[in-house]
Amino acid sequence: MKRKIAGAVTLAAAIAAALYFTRTPDQSTAMTASQADQLALARSNDYQNGVTAIDATIPVSGQAYHLTGRVDWHSHLGYATLAAPQPADGTELLQWSAGGIAVRGGWTAPLPAAPPPAGWMLRPWQPGADLDTALQLILDLGSDRPENAQLLQQSGATVLRHDTLSGTTVTIFTGPPDAATATPHTRYWIAADGTLRRFEALVDGSTIWTRIDLTPGPAPAIPHIPRMQ
């Protein structure tokens, strides 16, 4: 399937309940210059944070998979557990980079600080696959340079509402509208300090939001498994 995601200019990929937030009604408004600057800097601020903890809900074939781990935007590397909707279907360890995805099945413990050295299967990216698109989106949420704020203002990106997420006040922005549907397919939850706290996307025409929560602050480095270096 052709990927259809409207991002913030250069951004290429929920079912679960939101993290304890209260909300005001949605009412999209045009961005001010300062709000456009805030959105333009979000991915650059992620990059400056380096390694960041992530917790994501990813719809795969209509079912919600739970991803928990961390991402290193400097190394363009992610590392997480992926739990299937049904416990009987098990949990996998994942490590992914621009070169592909490494999978280690049959995992029954929390995410280890360092990946086990053996038992991994490496595969290339599968274009259009729900999981692969979401993992690539996670890598794309950090950038070593800001977006162009003026172009963002002209793109149709808007302020959706102000809200509170896990006790933190955030502004929710919509990305530019999708060319085919004329509706936005991305949302950015940005705190007053400029950090991105949640990203949501409708992937490949899905009506179910992929949700990626980010926790800024120091997080352990991610050791590469041998074949991912």
Name the amino acid, one letter, at 79: Y
**Higher local confidence (pLDDT), 99 or 6:** 99
pLDDT at 225 over 60: yes
pLDDT at 22 over 50: no
Instruction: Give me 49's structure tokens.
Output: 């944070």
Percentage of residues in the chain having pLDDT higher than 90 = 74
Q: Residue 25 has what pLDDT?
A: 53
Average pLDDT rounded to a whole number, residues 51-68 = 95
Q: Residue 20 has what pLDDT?
A: 34
Instruction: Give me 178's structure tokens.
Output: 């999708």
Q: Residue 229 has what pLDDT?
A: 59
**What is the reported pTM?**
0.86
Q: Which range among 13-17, 39-43, 106-110 shows the weakest confidence by mean pLDDT?
A: 13-17
Domains along the chain with CATH numbers: 21-215 (2.50.20)
pLDDT at 8 over 90: no
Distance CA 96, CA 122 (A): 9
SS3 of residue 197 by DSSP:
strand
User: In residues, how long is the chain?
Assistant: 229
pLDDT at 95 over 60: yes
Average pLDDT rounded to a whole number, residues 54-73 = 95
The contacts of residue 216 (CB under 8 Å, 6+ apart) are 49, 52, 195, 197
Average confidence score pLDDT of the chain: 87
